[in-house]
Amino acid sequence: MRHAVRYTMMLAALTGAFAAGCDQAMHVTAGDAKLPANEDSAAFLDRMSSTPAVSENDAARGVLMLSGQQPVETFGRRVEMLVARGMADKMWNFDASRPITRGKLAYMVYQAANMSGGLMLTLTGPSQRYCLRELQYRQVMGPGTVISPVTGLELVAVLDRADRFRRTGYMPDQNVGLAESPD
């Protein structure tokens, strides 16, 4: 009986903390940050391919590009578009210069590519953790943790694979056409 009361109290405390957090609005730092002027998609991908850590500003542009959106001028506007289209969670905090985490990117790409997930994603809805696991399972993203930063080369590869999935509905085998190495 004592355990049941203890678990009920813990559940009530967690529910209260969750409900209090639901009223929290997203916070955008450096919302007026802009990207390089007159940079088309090809130039953006070229610049990204040599970036050691992708900023949330650049990742937002890449995900909007994946979803077919035209570039918008400021980071704050990009975030608004991502949230309005369900590609980013309104509870997140955003910072234009902060490196994007693999979990945040996975969530946004999963939503932008209109993927459907496995059992946990179906039961709980999308989260950074389960979106990353789904993208890793589908070989859209490589191994790594939810909080690891994303390199520019990885962003370019993820956007390419997600775009192929978005257009075809499946991920082609990554090893097709590779020659076998001699033994």
pLDDT at 181 over 60: no
Average pLDDT over residues 63-77: 88
pLDDT at 147 over 90: yes
- At 8 the pLDDT is 45
pLDDT at 28 over 50: yes
Q: Specify the amino acid at residue 145.
A: T
Average pLDDT over residues 130-144: 92
pTM over 0.85: no
